[in-house]
Amino acid sequence: MISFSGVGKSFGDNHVLRELDLDVAAGEKVSIIGPSGSGKTTILRLLMTLEEPDSGLVEVDGEPLWDRRGGAVADTRGQAAVRRKIGMVFQHFNLFPHMTVLNNVALAPVQVLGMSRDDAEHRAVDLLRMVGLQKHLRHKPGQLSGGQQQRVAIARALAMRPKVMLFDEVTSALDPELIGEVLAVIRDLAHTTAMTMLLVTHEMRFAAEISDRVLMFDSGAVIESGPPSKIFEEPQHERTQRFLKAVL
Ligand code: ADP
């Protein structure tokens, strides 16, 4: 479903990704862990076309999203269609503050997918019920807690029926007592849907619980990967051992 081959990305002299190869199968739930500044978020931002790679090929669902082999650039119309298969939830919720919760979730399906207003609202209500916010449809984001806002953001991403969901440290900006409710929603999705999920997270226990595979990332490369039992209980790489000792 997701394939990076030979992907490089620099910001000036800072080589953030080095010849990255990474494959995620359809339906797979993969967590990326590793130290701050190692390039984890950049991977997700490339998939969202918020950043461009300098080299290599990124494919989603068998179609090119970025083709920078030999400097060629993928056709941008094709790119938009591929990009639409992906939904993302950010650390900061980025909801539209002046719109109701319901409108935040119903807007893009109407504007981007051309869904009727009625259908989009019905679907938004279903999704908001699923994340436990059916009582807040008419509220504005500012009236909700951080955990509730993040659940709206998850419903909003799901409203576009993505094949792939990306989660970028979605609990980092939350008060500790609000983290559980957001993780519960993601855990539910992981266990009940066939969506491909790629998560950058500092929540090691959560990663262990929901992931099929964990990737340990350092200095722009995957240094170790495997099922959670292997990465968390018998890490092979010295860097992984040191990282886990510091965060667990
Ligand atoms: P992580 O998610 O592992 O913390 P990031 O992918 O956010 O790492 O960042 C990797 C490196 O790239 C960091 O050194 C960061 O400062 C740098 N970086 C990320 N985005 C930009 C940008 N837009 N401009 C310049 N440097 C950036």
Percent of the chain with pLDDT over 90: 93
Nearest-CA residue for atom 19 of ligand 1:
42
214-242 mean pLDDT: 96
pLDDT number for residue 73 = 67
Residue 75 has pLDDT above 70, yes or no: no
Q: Give the ipTM of the model, two decimals please.
A: 0.97
Instruction: Give the global pTM.
Output: 0.95
- Residue 150 pLDDT exceeds 70: yes
Residue nearest to atom 20 of ligand 1 (CA): 42
Q: Is 42 in the pocket of ligand 1 (CB under 6 A)?
A: yes
Judge whether residue 239 has pLDDT over 90: yes
pLDDT digits (tens, 9 = 90+) for 116-133: 999 999 999 999 999 999
Ligand 1: which of 17, 31, 32, 41 to mutate, most ligand atoms within 8 Å of CB?
Answer: 41
Of 160, 144, 183, 39, the residue nearest 108 (C-alpha): 160
**201: Cβ below 6 Å to ligand 1?**
no
